[in-house]
Amino acid sequence: MKLKFVFLLLLECVCFIVESKCINGCDLALASYYVSVWPSVSLGNITSFMHSNVLTKSDVIISYNKGKIFNGDVLLSLTRTNVPFPCDCIGGEFLGHMFEYSAVAGDTYDTIAMKSYSNLTTVEFLKRFNSYDPNHIPVNAKVNVTVNCSCGNSLISKDYGLFTTYPLRPGNDLQELSKESNIDAKLLQSYNPDVNFSQESGIVFIPGRDQNGVYVPLYPRTRGLARGVAVGISIAATCGLVLLITCIYDRYFKKKEGEKAKLSKENSIGLSTEDGTGSGSGEYETSGSSGHAVGLTGIMVVKSLEFSYQELAKATNNFSLDNKIGQGGFGAVYYAELRGEV
């Protein structure tokens, strides 16, 4: 029973670790925001849509898009703008960040995903984290908008630690992205193993450049501990906790078993006295080996035989007066032959 309990507890802890798909995020990720012809979007709009602790004013976006934004708040249509945002571990399930969007008249989940957020999120995500009617969202309603992100993968490469969430559009195949980013196509595919770039839709993650226009290595910018180290610490802590619980559990049951054994022995002695159970012909031996006393001489250790009430009643003819041979302070004394002895 105890072994089964410990096994189930350990299994539950291990399952928790295995099922947890992310432990922490990273300080920064980029979103590739595509500026379409209609509806027209200003730099101020994007700053409002993508507002976070790393993006509080439009100048931050400009610093990541040097040479692309020339006229203040005006953005060129049919171009992409890199927008910085924090990358969090959401519910231990996936990496992303949840923005708060204030709905306007005519908004639906489709228009929010495709137009306001330029396909950086999906209708499925909006349905998952909101409870509004997808086609009738109240004006000024606060809509949770979740955008996926990546913090890199040390098993693929340690040279890249800043990643861009990049919604694919027609013409964005693997070779074109490889040429645009100057990164090997096989490496891009490794970062997106389940993506078919030929579909020219969906979201991929590609290495991004910082404000100085250079690629950032993985470890110097990863928030908190590296993923592998964090997993190792979590497993060690879990095993230590299981070991502690096992010791406490084992000591508790040993104590309980000892108390039960003691109580059982006391009850047995009590019942023996109440039922008239006595000692039969005793077998004696002197304490110590070979019949020699150890320490105090003459001390005898009795090995008594116990008889049931039914045996005594039968042997004394139901405690007949004919078998009674005396009376003492502890009760009557009867003559009986039990198990071949008087």
Q: Is 43 helix (H, G, I), strand (E, B) or coil?
A: helix
- What pLDDT is stored for residue 246 in this prediction? 67
- What pLDDT is stored for residue 10 in this prediction? 43
Euclidean distance between CA atoms 255 and 245, whole angstroms: 15
- What pLDDT is stored for residue 223 in this prediction? 47
- What pLDDT is stored for residue 342 in this prediction? 62
**Among 210, 213, 214, 179, residue whose Cα is nearest residue 197:** 179
- Could you give the C-alpha distances from 23 to 149, 227, 230, in angstroms and in order? 14, 7, 7
- What pLDDT is stored for residue 16 in this prediction? 39
- What pLDDT is stored for residue 15 in this prediction? 42
- In CATH, the architecture of 303-341 is 2-Layer Sandwich (3.30)
Whether the CB-CB separation of 69 and 185 falls below 8 Å is answered with: no
- What pLDDT is stored for residue 322 in this prediction? 72
Average pLDDT per consecutive 10 residues, the chain (342 residues; last block may be shorter): 44 43 94 90 96 97 90 86 98 97 98 98 98 98 98 96 97 94 97 94 97 90 46 55 66 64 57 47 41 46 67 77 71 74 66
Task: In the chain, list all ranges with CATH 3.30.200.20.
Answer: 303-341
**Among 217, 171, 219, residue whose Cα is nearest residue 197:** 171
- What pLDDT is stored for residue 325 in this prediction? 78
Q: Is 133 helix (H, G, I), strand (E, B) or coil?
A: strand
Euclidean distance between CA atoms 97 and 22, whole angstroms: 13
- What pLDDT is stored for residue 18 in this prediction? 40
